[in-house]
Amino acid sequence: MRRATSSLSAVPALRTTGMRATSSLFTSSSSAAMLKSRTLHSSVPRQGDHGGLSQHRDTPDNTIDTPFDFTEANTVEIKKILAKYPVNYKQAATIPLLHLAQYQTGGWVPLAAMNKIAKILEIPPMKVYEVATFYTMFNRTKVGKYHVQLCTTTPCQLGGCGSTVILETIKKHLNIGVGETTADGLFTLTEVECLGACVNAPMLQIGDDYFEDLTPESTVALLETLKAGKTPKVGPQTGGRKNCEGPQGKTTLFAAPAGPYCRPDLETCA
Ligand code: FES
């Protein structure tokens, strides 16, 4: 896998984030210093995969002929999902079915799975490819058992010890770079954009769980817990706070909202 650790890799990263890299920016006297420091991302721009291309490339376990079918349990699940949509809007189930396929394969979506989904939804395969390559939560190549998705967007860079410190900690502890998987197949490291938990920065996601308020020590402890096959505590890892409460603790929502509610069925929840 490609890994760009040189300072010049910041240039394409800037372009892909929509920021205009004007010539003056890169010809000023401070440009050399700026390029040497970590700016927005030190990894290559992610184009639908871990730094790879969106285009499909055949690998031994991922060709158009690689067999794929949903399990019996997932076939039942698909029926339930499809029942949520009008028959002429089956395409709306593309994302739920991609998620299902990704869970079934252990973290990635092979070409054959996308083709199978297209067949089930009675849509051209391209419609499924478009979705799977647009949303970064779908992996087009195999990932490790634990897909470590570290948020490196600005609030996470600035919060606590900062995501740059956490990134370096993970790279050093696992001996891998961004977009790489450990030799034992346990961990894959990816940089991602804001995961919506900025108040608990820095944070990372593994599977469906968030691990927040990270420090180098708690990050190593988290990785070691997973390596040992144990289940780590989710949420804030340091400081003892609950969820995203501020230092003063809970200050609102001590009772159920009084209403009025816009949906009568929710009134029974009060
Ligand atoms: S910036 Fe990291 S969760 Fe928002």
For residue 67, the CA-to-ligand 1 centroid distance in Å is 38
φ, ψ for residue 89, nearest 5 deg: -125, 35
- Domain end call among 134, 161, 185: 134
In this prediction, residue 35 carries a pLDDT of 45
Q: Which residues pair with 212 in a beta bridge?
A: 236
pLDDT band (50, 70, 90) for residue 216: very high
Residues 117 and 167 reside in one and the same domain: no
User: Residue 227: pLDDT above 50?
Assistant: yes
- Least confident interval from 3-17, 19-33, 131-145, 248-262: 3-17
In a domain, 204, yes or no: yes
In this prediction, residue 256 carries a pLDDT of 81
Higher confidence at residue 176 or residue 255?
176
Q: Which of 40, 149, 153, 192 to mutate for ligand 1's pocket (most ligand atoms within 8 Å of CB)? A: 153
Residue 155 alpha carbon, nearest atom of ligand 1: 1
The percentage of residues in the chain with a pLDDT greater than 70, rounded to a whole number, is: 77
- Alpha-carbon Rg for the chain, nearest whole angstrom, is 22
In this prediction, residue 144 carries a pLDDT of 96
In a domain, 36, yes or no: no
Residues 179 and 128 reside in one and the same domain: no
H helix or E strand, kind and range, residue 221: helix 216-227
Domain interval for residue 214? 146-236
The percentage of residues in the chain with a pLDDT greater than 90, rounded to a whole number, is: 63
Residues 83 and 156 reside in one and the same domain: no
Indicate the length of the chain as a whole number: 270
Sign of the CA dihedral running 91, 94, 97, 101: positive
User: Residue 156: pLDDT above 60?
Assistant: yes
In a domain, 154, yes or no: yes
Residue with tokens 């089956």: 90
Ligand 1: residues within 6 Å at CB? 151, 153, 155-156, 194-198, 201, 203
For residue 152, the CA-to-ligand 1 centroid distance in Å is 7
* CATH classification at residue 165: 3.40.30.10
Residues 155 and 225 reside in one and the same domain: yes
Residue 202 alpha carbon, nearest atom of ligand 1: 2
- Least confident interval from 1-15, 50-64, 203-217: 1-15
In a domain, 241, yes or no: no
For residue 154, the CA-to-ligand 1 centroid distance in Å is 7
Residues 158 and 227 reside in one and the same domain: yes
In this prediction, residue 248 carries a pLDDT of 85
User: Residue 15: pLDDT above 70?
Assistant: no
Residues 174 and 201 reside in one and the same domain: yes
Higher confidence at residue 28 or residue 120?
120
In a domain, 152, yes or no: yes
* CATH classification at residue 115: 1.10.10.1590
In this prediction, residue 16 carries a pLDDT of 35
Compute the average pLDDT of residues 65-94: 96
The pLDDT tens digits for 229-253 are: 999 999 999 888 888 988 888 888 8
Residues 124 and 158 reside in one and the same domain: no
In a domain, 83, yes or no: yes
The secondary structure of residue 249, as a DSSP letter, is B
In a domain, 265, yes or no: no
Q: Which of 158, 195, 205 to mutate for ligand 1's pocket (most ligand atoms within 8 Å of CB)? A: 195
Strands 204-206 and 209-212, how do they pair? Answer: antiparallel
Higher confidence at residue 241 or residue 219?
219
In a domain, 255, yes or no: no
For residue 197, the CA-to-ligand 1 centroid distance in Å is 5
Residues 176 and 151 reside in one and the same domain: yes
The pLDDT tens digits for 26-58 are: 344 444 444 455 555 555 455 444 445 567 888
In this prediction, residue 13 carries a pLDDT of 36
Residues 84 and 154 reside in one and the same domain: no
Kindly tell me the burial class for residue 189, based on how many C-beta atoms sit within 10 Å of its own C-beta (0-12, 13-18, 19 or more): buried
For residue 32, the CA-to-ligand 1 centroid distance in Å is 28
Residue 153 alpha carbon, nearest atom of ligand 1: 1
Q: Which of 151, 167, 204 to mutate for ligand 1's pocket (most ligand atoms within 8 Å of CB)? A: 151
Sheet of 187-192, strand order: 187-192, 146-151, 204-206, 209-212, 235-236
Closest CA to 164 of 42, 34, 45: 42
Other residues' Cβ atoms within 10 Å of the Cβ of residue 185 = 12
In this prediction, residue 268 carries a pLDDT of 57
How many structural domains does the chain have? 2
Compute the average pLDDT of residues 252-259: 82
- Domain end call among 99, 134, 169: 134
For residue 195, the CA-to-ligand 1 centroid distance in Å is 5
Residues 130 and 150 reside in one and the same domain: no
For residue 31, the CA-to-ligand 1 centroid distance in Å is 27
Residues 181 and 103 reside in one and the same domain: no
